[in-house]
Structure 1
């Protein structure tokens, strides 16, 4: 069964039998491709292979919480979120890489879940009442079931598996479960067991609406509306500035779940999901308002909002949880498909190429719970986090640093980004909405002709992208191409002939008859610039990348019985520099960009592989020192200048892509 979401939704919109008060679903602007359609190549494939060889492919072997007597395999072990979290990244990885052993590993969990669905439709690990009282979980005694929340994640896992395999068991499985849930929620509401389910109900709504797109069963829209009514009203909050202002002002225990950054990252897609179901454009206004306010009050230079764990303002010394990054990325990927708005495409790339790679080790076996924008060292400590942890383990690199939710959840970041490089279009074409090396194969045009597009690029480091088409016969179809907003004017050529020179911030369409071997070349000139951030700091940017001070690193490995192995990272050189003000006044004339090494297929996001360096003039600020484990941003005047004592000597500092660093300064004070 193929995805008929767009056709079903259009039919629902046009149907005269739908009552006036009924939701009026709208089709996506762009439709997700099957999981098997996109095959990463180049450095992106290498990143996924590292994950396969590391914790993504072997978490069940190295993380006892998942490996021991797993509840999702019928045991008495983990029956909550960590196993579904892991599978939510491991399943797409298995099919993106065509890795048969990993496919078999993840499939045993999916098989157990599907094969052990209860007659009522309920699914999941065996509950306490089932084990101890031999009670059958059904609508009449839904209280003998368990938390709705982890099932929301497992539904995402099974949906991705279906996208890759078309397993005929999936649609009946989901249909049966959602029929159970529609009735059970009336006496066992979303928040019966945990507030996590209440705060994250959008993921449940999203999956009900996905199944509606497959089957057209209108009871699924009723279910989606019911779940939404029992969950946190994120769409209202995002559209109402009182929420984000309150989150900025309050760091107490009251209402902390609505400030929890992972909840917020998941909730970003709520207005888009609700718009998809109802067609109400006010939801899109709420999304625009909420995302803008969130990034204004809490945004950090690497493209993510603070959240350590709560939203915590825009000071460059605030942290952000790894789970918040990967969940925000996924929300943006869903928002892009529903709205087609290039603003969110830019936001996705900025977050992916800056915030994501810096928070894991090269081998993908250890992670930071919280990263900091201006991170002048990585070590045990309390720091200035809203959740400081008496264990002092939130900032180090380790498997058990912070909570292990991120150890399980970090795997969806790169995998889902790779799976959303391309989308299908309503006009039977293809859309490249984010860029990285890959091959995509899909059916296009009036006759559903197979076409493969090979994307060759060293983006985001270099300006050029080449798309080469392979098709057995000529075929007419539209090719949608995103032009990033940071690009002032792009060049688009077909077979060497320039066909468009569009400005940034839009999606252009090349609608023509394509033949085998046709080549589309995109050039996005990457000018250097500076941007303003918290406490009047400045960050240096080029293309989709933010650049940070290059500091040679000293890694120290430590081990403790309860914490396992972990790493501290310290800088070898001085970090307390301010950028001279001429850089802000004229970045192009005063920043020197150098390509220092090629981006190869074996590229890893680390200091040794950083391919681009930017030389900048700077002066030391002697009084800028570490206080309580962070480097508080120096005070500046309203003109943006630090007015304290500054060394007279002008030095040349080197900046590298933020994603290649572990210790750094990215938000610089400005000095005269």
Structure 2
């Protein structure tokens, strides 16, 4: 199993009677910076620019459900989750890129929402009852309101908008709504329309407690407790082994919602959110235990857990829904913020740099509903998914393929990753907990001196990260840097001279008087490693990147009457390789890293731009063939070696970063060396 997972949980620890201990509200250990203070640079900036030119800026123009009489603009059209989902990624993109056109567009929806709140505090698109009667939803007739769930997403949008603008309308708007909600939940509980709101209630609690951190209105804590009581008890489930056992055995509709992968992804942050209000450390233990169990039972090499749509085991032929990947990323970002546990940054980077990139097209206009770890073809079919769809469109790359929730929700992945590269600390400093090229501007020190830190790096493809400080005078503040679990020892240089070292999984704190022009260099040596995954398969890793077999791609365009244009992708060369046992056991000796395309401002996550490759000795397994598009994993014996027929020819195969692939093998069987 990957080193970050093994390092993140120590089952022997138990907080004992912490469940009975209750304390007051716990302030977040790290805090979000104002939206726009972090400016992505380099390859990450280009990724966001691609999104700006693609559907992240233009979804409301090209997707008819949003473009036709949108309910979030006062019309009778979409009044559900999809418009808020889209805004949840488009708003941070607009303000990080400072794109005037996109800001103007998203602000239409925000302004309409803020300006059309009902006197009772209820908000959102006009309900059918309101349009029919001319009345307004209030507490007495709250049953005529719509599902609580889409409003939870829109609250996240408004919170990000507030972080960017400090618009004075937002705080009283939320206050009025939460007072309405506190009074209405007794009559119209979270589940009165559907289970989506009760399964995802932690998103509601998160926003209630965020507002409490601003206003100190104690009624908000009462509301948070009511919502949590009506919502799914994710923390209790994560702490109870029976939940994870049940997810492996039950496939009926009765238990769908507590094993639905997107619900689980959102629920990951629930224990941290509960801890924020209660101070109950049992919640943190439950979170760590639950996440460990989840990844042990359902984890896949690229950092996601299976979910097609149900949790579906750790076989590399299972799928992962795009929504579950971006929601897992956001949950991890919030967990880090609330708890201060930087170990969750390792799985966050693994998702961002591996699972996220290949599930969308280069232009960000098409997506896969489900990606597969060992994905030897992208095509129409039922595959081995728990939700196969009779239309067989879950695996293809299309704008509307599968359910369109992911078409709307995929935009938050990169944008929120970029906006959470840095946090502020309670001690008046800064923390860099995930790494990518960026520029940060903040006021620091006793005199609030403007400081600009330029993070210059090709990470995750390079092991060196430079931090260049610009200010007019010396400033005293602490700077925290994370050492990933995969890095045995990190070194920090200040202006070319050794300053500090740090062990794997540690958080370095550099507290000093920083001088204008200071330059820190964080060196994170990367070594080739192998890890064990489902069906005793092996994966090659280096640093935060997972490597997959490079397969030349044959793209084919198709058209579905209901879901529109889509693309299938097929391999142009053999994929049925097993890695040599010696190479797996001694990767540093038997594998070699080679440079590929340079990482520059035009970088795209595809084969042509793959910056690195690893050469590995391998042999083909003739009997390993795809059946209905699925490459079922050959079974290794307990020693980890495949005992069936293997080619006598040993050859070096090329592995590239998983995120640069569309078709691939990433979880390999292990074969013995050819007899001489």
Moved more, 32-41 or 249-258: 249-258
| Number of the residue aligned with 1:597 | 597
TM-score of the pair, normalised by structure 2: 0.96
| Number of the residue aligned with 1:473 | 473
Deviation at 1:186, TM superposition (A): 1.1
Is it true that 1:266 corresponds to 2:260 in the alignment? no
3-state secondary structure, aligned to 2:191: coil
Moved more, 195-204 or 620-629: 620-629
| Number of the residue aligned with 1:157 | 157
Deviation at 1:183, TM superposition (A): 0.3
How far apart, CA to CA, are the structure 2 residues paired with 1:21 and 1:331?
A: 25
How far apart, CA to CA, are the structure 2 residues paired with 1:262 and 1:256?
A: 11
| Number of the residue aligned with 2:546 | 546
Deviation at 1:628, TM superposition (A): 2.7
3-state secondary structure, aligned to 2:414: helix
Is it true that 1:60 corresponds to 2:81 in the alignment? no
Deviation at 1:136, TM superposition (A): 2.0
Output one character per residue of 1:84-103: Cα deviation in whole Å (capped at 9) or x when no partner: 00000000000010001000
The answer as to whether partners of 1:65 and 1:77 remain within 8 angstroms in 2 is yes
The answer as to whether partners of 2:22 and 2:280 remain within 8 angstroms in 1 is no
| Number of the residue aligned with 1:482 | 482
Output one character per residue of 1:457-498: Cα deviation in whole Å (capped at 9) or x when no partner: 000001110000011211100000001110011110011111
Deviation at 1:597, TM superposition (A): 2.0
Is it true that 1:241 corresponds to 2:236 in the alignment? no
The answer as to whether partners of 1:317 and 1:630 remain within 8 angstroms in 2 is yes
The answer as to whether partners of 1:384 and 1:628 remain within 8 angstroms in 2 is no
List aligned pairs for 1:166-315, cutoff 5 A: 166-315=166-315
The answer as to whether partners of 2:21 and 2:280 remain within 8 angstroms in 1 is no
Output one character per residue of 1:144-195: Cα deviation in whole Å (capped at 9) or x when no partner: 1111000000000000000000000000100000000000001111111111
Output one character per residue of 1:578-609: Cα deviation in whole Å (capped at 9) or x when no partner: 00000121110001100122101110000110
The answer as to whether partners of 2:597 and 2:608 remain within 8 angstroms in 1 is no
The answer as to whether partners of 1:135 and 1:144 remain within 8 angstroms in 2 is no
How far apart, CA to CA, are the structure 2 residues paired with 1:21 and 1:149?
A: 31
The answer as to whether partners of 2:55 and 2:365 remain within 8 angstroms in 1 is yes
Is it true that 1:131 corresponds to 2:131 in the alignment? yes
How far apart, CA to CA, are the structure 2 residues paired with 1:584 and 1:23?
A: 49
Deviation at 1:65, TM superposition (A): 0.5
| Number of the residue aligned with 1:417 | 417
Deviation at 1:506, TM superposition (A): 1.2
The answer as to whether partners of 2:123 and 2:177 remain within 8 angstroms in 1 is yes
How far apart, CA to CA, are the structure 2 residues paired with 1:310 and 1:498?
A: 49
3-state secondary structure, aligned to 1:256: helix
Deviation at 1:560, TM superposition (A): 2.6
Deviation at 1:386, TM superposition (A): 0.3
| Number of the residue aligned with 2:529 | 529
**Number of residue pairs matched by the alignment:** 653
Output one character per residue of 1:282-318: Cα deviation in whole Å (capped at 9) or x when no partner: 0000000000000000000000100000000000000
Deviation at 1:254, TM superposition (A): 2.0
Contiguous gaps of at least 5 residues in structure 2:
1-19
The runs of at least 4 consecutive aligned structure 1 residues that moved more than 6 Å come to none
Deviation at 1:22, TM superposition (A): 7.3
How far apart, CA to CA, are the structure 1 residues paired with 2:27 and 2:207?
A: 15
The answer as to whether partners of 2:378 and 2:395 remain within 8 angstroms in 1 is yes
| Number of the residue aligned with 1:12 | none
| Number of the residue aligned with 1:45 | 45
List aligned pairs for 1:477-626, cutoff 5 A: 477-626=477-626
How far apart, CA to CA, are the structure 2 residues paired with 1:28 and 1:494?
A: 30
| Number of the residue aligned with 2:380 | 380
Deviation at 1:415, TM superposition (A): 0.0
The answer as to whether partners of 1:595 and 1:613 remain within 8 angstroms in 2 is yes
How far apart, CA to CA, are the structure 2 residues paired with 1:287 and 1:22?
A: 17
| Number of the residue aligned with 1:650 | 650
3-state secondary structure, aligned to 2:503: coil
3-state secondary structure, aligned to 1:466: strand
Output one character per residue of 1:602-623: Cα deviation in whole Å (capped at 9) or x when no partner: 1000011001010000000000
Output one character per residue of 1:530-558: Cα deviation in whole Å (capped at 9) or x when no partner: 00000000000000000000000000001
How far apart, CA to CA, are the structure 1 residues paired with 2:59 and 2:310?
A: 27
3-state secondary structure, aligned to 1:501: strand
Deviation at 1:343, TM superposition (A): 1.8
3-state secondary structure, aligned to 2:262: helix
Deviation at 1:448, TM superposition (A): 2.1
| Number of the residue aligned with 1:390 | 390
How far apart, CA to CA, are the structure 1 residues paired with 2:301 and 2:83?
A: 32
Deviation at 1:446, TM superposition (A): 2.1
The answer as to whether partners of 1:548 and 1:665 remain within 8 angstroms in 2 is yes
Deviation at 1:259, TM superposition (A): 0.5
How far apart, CA to CA, are the structure 2 residues paired with 1:87 and 1:511?
A: 38
Moved more, 656-665 or 464-473: 464-473
Deviation at 1:561, TM superposition (A): 2.4
| Number of the residue aligned with 1:427 | 427
Deviation at 1:447, TM superposition (A): 2.2
How far apart, CA to CA, are the structure 2 residues paired with 1:561 and 1:291?
A: 40
Deviation at 1:21, TM superposition (A): 9.4
3-state secondary structure, aligned to 1:254: helix
How far apart, CA to CA, are the structure 1 residues paired with 2:37 and 2:108?
A: 23
The answer as to whether partners of 2:376 and 2:664 remain within 8 angstroms in 1 is yes
The answer as to whether partners of 1:316 and 1:534 remain within 8 angstroms in 2 is yes
3-state secondary structure, aligned to 1:443: strand
